[in-house]
Amino acid sequence: MSFILWMDVSDRLPTRDRIHKYDPEAVTTCVHCNSHLESHAHLLFECLFSRAIWTQLLNYCGTHWIGLCWNDFIAWASTHWRGNTSVIVAKKLCLGAAVYHIWRERNCCIFEGTKRTSSIVARSIIDTIRYRLSSINLKDHPLIALNWNVNAN
Ligand SMILES: [Zn+2]
């Protein structure tokens, strides 16, 4: 997951806006909403499909939508999500898992013709994070354990 996140932060994922630069015949619209240009920012953060996923994830993190664009959000997260406390680890897991799963869902839609709802994708992300958090000692962070419904041992 972290590799995909790095690819995105480095603005290198081959989204349709990038492909269009090399192939003028290529489709440019977002596969989820069919109404906006598929850019990194749109696909991963601004599309209503992605935003619905983020809204659920941020609820689990005990926070809410802060209304930033993708680049501002990444800059904000890299400033505020420093260290390895359980709270920060959970938020970093959210970011990495969201980028990975949203990118994977986009590819499944385009190349396999499958389409899942934002709720189902969010559930996959939440299950991934819960699995990862279950291996972390959350004894000092009972709220995270409670939010994510994992044992705090
Ligand atoms: Zn869209």
Tokens for 134? 């279950």
| Local structure of 122: helix, strand or coil | helix
Helix intervals (H) in 108-152: 118-133, 142-148
Q: What is the pLDDT of residue 48?
A: 95
pLDDT confidence band for 18 (50 / 70 / 90)? very high
Q: What is the pLDDT of residue 72?
A: 85
Q: Are 148 and 130 in contact (CB under 8 A)?
A: yes
- Tens digit of each residue's pLDDT (9 = 90 or more) over 100-151: 999 999 999 999 999 999 999 999 999 999 998 888 877 777 777 888 888 8
> Residue 63 pLDDT > 80, yes or no?
no
> Residue 6 pLDDT > 70, yes or no?
no
Q: What is the pLDDT of residue 115?
A: 93
How many Å lie between the centroid of ligand 1 and the Cα of residue 31? 6
- Tens digit of each residue's pLDDT (9 = 90 or more) over 21-48: 999 999 999 999 999 999 999 999 899 9
| Local structure of 5: helix, strand or coil | helix
How many Å lie between the centroid of ligand 1 and the Cα of residue 37? 7
Q: What is the pLDDT of residue 150?
A: 83
How many Å lie between the centroid of ligand 1 and the Cα of residue 72? 19
How many Å lie between the centroid of ligand 1 and the Cα of residue 32? 5
Cross-strand bridge partners of residue 29: 37
How many Å lie between the centroid of ligand 1 and the Cα of residue 79? 27
Using only C-alpha atoms, what is the Rg of the chain? 16
**Angle, to 10 degrees, between the axis of helix 48-60 and the axis of helix 118-133?**
30
How many Å lie between the centroid of ligand 1 and the Cα of residue 139? 40
Q: What is the pLDDT of residue 62?
A: 79
User: What is the DSSP secondary-structure string of 9-70?
Assistant: HTT-S--HHHHHHH-TTS--B-TTTSSSB--HHIIIIISHHHHHHHHHHHHHTT-------H
How many Å lie between the centroid of ligand 1 and the Cα of residue 140? 39
Q: What is the pLDDT of residue 84?
A: 78
| Residues with CB in 5 Å of ion ligand 1 | 30, 32-33, 36, 47
Sign of the Cα pseudo-torsion (143, 89, 77, 41, in order) = negative
Judged by phi (left if over 0) then psi (alpha if -120 to 50, else beta), residue 3 lies in alpha
How many Å lie between the centroid of ligand 1 and the Cα of residue 127? 24
Q: What is the pLDDT of residue 58?
A: 86
